[in-house]
Amino acid sequence: MFSKLAKRSLVSQMARSALRLAPRMRTLATATVTPPEGLAISLKSATRDDSKFGTRPIYLDVQATTQTDPRVLDKMLQFYTGLYGNPHSSTHSYGWETEKEVELARVHIADVIKADPKEIILTSGATESNNMAIKGVPRFYKKTKKHIITTQTEHKCVLDSARHMQDEGFDVTYLPGIGACYVRRRPRVRLDPIITGGGQERGLRSGTLAPPLVAGFGEAARLMKVEHNYDQAHIQETFREVEEWVVVDS
């Protein structure tokens, strides 16, 4: 049995970590910001998940995976039907129009972190990106720099990549706490590519890009920036209501 204090603490932690991605409900007091673009979800759908698997409780921990925003899915679908050209085919219009959309998505992604679009290398996901950075940079500088510093609490793909570099002769320090990493811009950091092939992504990540995934990524980045203020207000109001419910229920 949970004590009242433990119950309140548990719900508070769940609310902090998960409700930021809960479905948006227009009944919340968020009149000072603009609501999301064309997205309306009922209170019923916000409290339970009706599917072919039956009625399930709402999935609060959306860190490992989450539902795809229907607007992002709509953006992706057009690349499976009409805009199906290879973005690396530079000799015909099918390739040109798809390449244009890929580069637009790259701009949206870069804008989220205030980066130059040319600094965005599109990969298959976080695991590949981490492998590229952790293995590629040390390999490029291996003649002069042989020491890698990371933390014990990093994701498995980071830790496994670090251990792989240890096998290659690098010294790795695993710090027990939290820290920050400064990445020098000038002179720029260089790295050796992990995947070789057609030389795409400035030669750092070869392989034909998947326009539907790139476009979806770009649309998600655009929506995240556009709706940040609304989402923040939604989180704060929802968390307040959850805390009040816990107090009353206790």
Q: What is the pLDDT of residue 179?
A: 44
Q: What is the pLDDT of residue 14?
A: 44
Q: What is the pLDDT of residue 29?
A: 39
Average pLDDT, the chain: 76
CB 175 within 8 A of CB 149: yes
Please tell me the distance from the alpha carbon of residue 165 to that of residue 22, in angstroms, as a whole number: 39
Domain ranges of the chain: 4-67+227-249, 123-192
Look at residues 78, 85, 63 and name the one whose alpha carbon lies nearest to residue 218.
78
- Residue whose tokens read 């995240």: 224
- Residue whose tokens read 């409290």: 47
Q: What is the pLDDT of residue 22?
A: 43
| pLDDT tens-digit readout, 99-115 | 999 999 999 989 988 88
Please tell me the distance from the alpha carbon of residue 134 to that of residue 167, in angstroms, as a whole number: 13
pLDDT confidence tier of residue 170, bands split at 50, 70 and 90: very high
| Bigger pLDDT: 39 vs 130 | 130
Residues 6 or more apart from 16 whose CB is under 8 A from it?
239
CB 227 within 8 A of CB 37: yes
| pLDDT tens-digit readout, 116-161 | 888 888 888 888 889 999 999 999 999 999 999 888 878 899 999 9
Please tell me the distance from the alpha carbon of residue 170 to that of residue 9, in angstroms, as a whole number: 43
- Strand extents, DSSP E, 126-246: 147-151, 171-175
Give the helix/strand (H/E) hosting 12. helix 4-18
Burial of 111 by CB count in 10 Å (0-12 exposed, 13-18 middle, 19+ buried)? middle
Q: What is the pLDDT of residue 162?
A: 94
Percent of the chain predicted with pLDDT > 70: 70
- Residue whose tokens read 């809960």: 22
CB 242 within 8 A of CB 91: no
Say if residue 6's pLDDT is above 60.
no
